Amino acid sequence: MVERAAIAASGIVIAFALYTATLNAQPDLFIYRQGAVLGIRGESPYEPSKIRAAVNEQFPNPDAGPDDFQNNCGFFLPPAAVLWYAPFAAAPWSVAKMLWAVVCGLAAFGIQRTAGFIPAGMNPAARMVLPVLMVVNFLTLAIVQVGQTTLVAVGCISFGLVCFNRNRPLAGTLLWSVAFVKPHVALPLIPLAWYLFGWKRAAALVLIVGIENVLGAVIAGGSPLFLGEYLDFLAAGHKAVAFNLAERNFEITSWNRLLFVLTGHAIEQTASTTLAGYLIWFGLLVGRCAMANAKPTTSWALAAAATGSAFVPQVLGYEVLILALAVPWGRELYANEFRLLGGLGVLLLAAQLIPFDMFESVGITFHRPLGVAGFALLVLCGPVNFQHVSPSIQSPAPDR
């Protein structure tokens, strides 16, 4: 019955995505596909004028101002995205949206299958409803509607874990590499791979991501040196997009948005501050493990990595779907009688699924970063090891 519920939930995601495909929607998917179209032609996708011309043609708005989507967008993905989106670039836009719908449905199924969040002995009705709520909610459907990458990225991470557990490291590593469509979000996967599976798995992940980006650079720019153009554009262009600024967008979940809300002081992150933030975060995690004097479980390591992705880099609200990877830790909290902490974790995660308009209507514009910060504090203060661990989330023997 649980399997059928998971399939049904994935079917709902596909149906919604197909419905969205009939509309003039999914602008982010359009941009990503258009960047791949340009790259395959041997043109640079990092020229905003080309992207914006295509966007204005597809989503015309004669009254668009400088802050509107038509004049406030760009292709910020790494060159490897030219490879990842090549199948969609090869198809007409209408067909590409249908292909994306199927991919979203498969990703939704993967998230449900690997989360391991349904405790044994739970009421049968709840066991059927929970998988549906896991992927059929405001946040997930909003991701599908705009054509963002998060659902597919988390689905690939989930399926990758399945491959690792079945001793298929190459397939798992390739799936994890897809998450690097947004490198600043996926960076915690490298230390996570090292901790769970050994340094060779982490090195293989870095190598594959590097090869994919070199290939993408060669296709789009004719040379691996094209990677430099991407880095230069990223440093200068990202802050030029208004809704990427922590000072202006209350959907941003990172620590600097919360800092701005509390103090009025705006810090717009760069590559250096993001890396520094990750070093601090992982330093705190290591310190927590040292205080516990215990080796963390796989579920806590997943929760810690996912929380870092949502809290450290400057990302928008749809990236918090990666906290689905923290659900197994919540399950273990309940299984080991930490019900108060488990309940608090559920509330903090559930708050991210509430439409931001509901909070904005009462003057609250910081519920996303506050909720992520609260969950980060819970990860740091909660137990890292358990006496009873669910076998569904045990990690396989590492490749040392």
- Whether residue 305 sits in one domain with residue 239: no
From 244, 272, 287, the end of a domain falls on 244
- Whether residue 215 sits in one domain with residue 198: yes
- Whether residue 296 sits in one domain with residue 204: no
From 202, 228, 244, the end of a domain falls on 244
- Whether residue 272 sits in one domain with residue 378: yes
Domain range for residue 129?
1-244
Q: Which residues contact 25 (CB under 8 A, 6 or more apart)?
A: 145, 146, 147
Give the total number of structural domains in the chain: 2
- Whether residue 260 sits in one domain with residue 126: no
From 216, 244, 272, the end of a domain falls on 244
Confidence of residue 131 (pLDDT cuts 50, 70, 90): low
d(CA 190, CA 204): 10
Predicted local confidence at residue 322, as pLDDT: 93
- Whether residue 360 sits in one domain with residue 229: no
Tokens of 297: 């479980």
Higher local confidence (pLDDT), 214 or 8: 214
- Whether residue 258 sits in one domain with residue 151: no
Q: Which residue has the tokens 């991701």?
A: 143
Confidence of residue 117 (pLDDT cuts 50, 70, 90): very low
Cα 118 → chain centroid: 22
- Whether residue 201 sits in one domain with residue 90: yes
Q: Which residue has the tokens 């004028």?
A: 49
Predicted local confidence at residue 61, as pLDDT: 80
- Whether residue 257 sits in one domain with residue 218: no
Q: What is the mean pLDDT of residues 161-188?
A: 94
- Whether residue 346 sits in one domain with residue 199: no
- Whether residue 190 sits in one domain with residue 138: yes
Confidence of residue 387 (pLDDT cuts 50, 70, 90): low
Amino acid (one-letter) located at 283: G
Q: What is the mean pLDDT of residues 119-140?
A: 69
Whether pTM > 0.85 for this model: the answer is yes
Exposed e or buried b per residue across 318-337, where buried means at least 16 C-beta atoms within 10 angstroms of its C-beta:
bbbbbbbbbbbbbbbbbbbe
- Whether residue 111 sits in one domain with residue 15: yes
pLDDT score of 393 more than 70: no
